[in-house]
Structure 1
Amino acid sequence: MSAATLPEGDWIRGISIRQPWTTAILTGAKTIENRPRPWRAGWVLLHAGLQIDRPALRLPLVARTIRGRDLVTGAVVGVARITDCHQDPAGSPPCTEWAHPGTWHLELADVQALDLPIPARGQLGPWRPTEDLVAQVLQQLPDLRP
């Protein structure tokens, strides 16, 4: 299937995440993303937002994970597949050390980093990427399919 015959519509969405969290996902260490609302399963473009969560840089877990890596902002830096979305039951331990209590946890798999970040604007909540942006991602990840 070529890029021209990919299904149109909702097969891929964008998710904007502040750094250093985006980079932690790209390393493969952070396998969940915390969100205030549930998301549906499927492919997402990983967009590094313009802002950096500076206090997070001082957390030992984060510092170890991102050590020596560039914190690109304002660009799509990879893709991932959301495989599930859940909340931890009240009083139970977090599902991973990256989980924040009281949030929805998007379980991420098949994470692939782009060799060349693609400058793009993101937004809060799930967003629909332009066809041009998806085409640029597929130039770097030609085997990516819904």
Structure 2
Amino acid sequence: MSLTLPEGDWIRGISIRQPWTTAILTGAKTIENRPRPWRTGWVLLHAGQQTDKPALRLPLVARTIRDHRLVTGAVLGIARITDCHQDPEGAPLCSPWARMDAWHLELADVQELPLPVPARGQLGPWKPAPGLVGQVFQQLPGFRP
């Protein structure tokens, strides 16, 4: 039995540099920082071509990604953005992963793919090609949007 996915604009791609993508896939990083607000809904988690090398030295990151391979240039999983907010000025940050100067995308229902799907991403939310969506969801037969 094949999975029937919804038609239309129900999923976007989000490109994130490593090691941040892997930190999300571990389940530890539930906040993604962005300069502008995003809508809620499903996203493909795409690891961009570049690695944020200074981030590798941060203790929180190093502990989280220990023993994980940092694949780049591929879709590595999916997640659902459940909220997008900014913390009020002077209030504590909502997460140790949050930045004060950013919009915080709250991520839930993160699922890592068994195999990376090579793909090109882009800045900002991007619309994945139907073929890419099909390749991703072949690996997640139990997924129901």
Which TM-score applies when normalising by structure 1? 0.96
User: Match of 2:38, as an amino acid?
Assistant: W
Q: In structure 2, list runs of 5 or more residues that go unmatched.
A: none
Q: Is the aligned partner of 1:75 residue 2:74?
A: yes
Q: In structure 1, list runs of 5 or more residues that go unmatched.
A: none
Residue aligning to 2:9 = 10
Residue aligning to 1:138 = 137
Cα shift at 1:144:
2.0
Work out the CA distance in 2 between the residues paired with 1:144 and 1:125: 25
**Contact kept in structure 2, 1:18 and 1:48, CA below 8 Å:** yes
Residue aligning to 2:95 = 96
Work out the CA distance in 2 between the residues paired with 1:132 and 1:112: 19
Task: Describe how 1:1-146 pairs up with structure 2 within 5 A.
Answer: 2-3=2-3, 5-146=4-145
Work out the CA distance in 2 between the residues paired with 1:41 and 1:143: 21
**Contact kept in structure 2, 1:19 and 1:49, CA below 8 Å:** yes
Cα shift at 1:61:
0.3
Overall identity of the aligned pairs, in %:
79
Work out the CA distance in 2 between the residues paired with 1:92 and 1:27: 27
RMSD over aligned CA atoms reads 1.1
Cα shift at 1:10:
1.1
Q: Deviations over 1:47-104 (max 9, x none)?
A: 0000000000000000000001000000000000000000000001100000000200
User: Match of 1:88, as an amino acid?
Assistant: D
Which TM-score applies when normalising by structure 2? 0.97
User: Match of 1:49, as an amino acid?
Assistant: G
Cα shift at 1:6:
2.4
Work out the CA distance in 2 between the residues paired with 1:36 and 1:110: 23
User: Match of 1:34, as an amino acid?
Assistant: N
User: Match of 1:71, as an amino acid?
Assistant: L
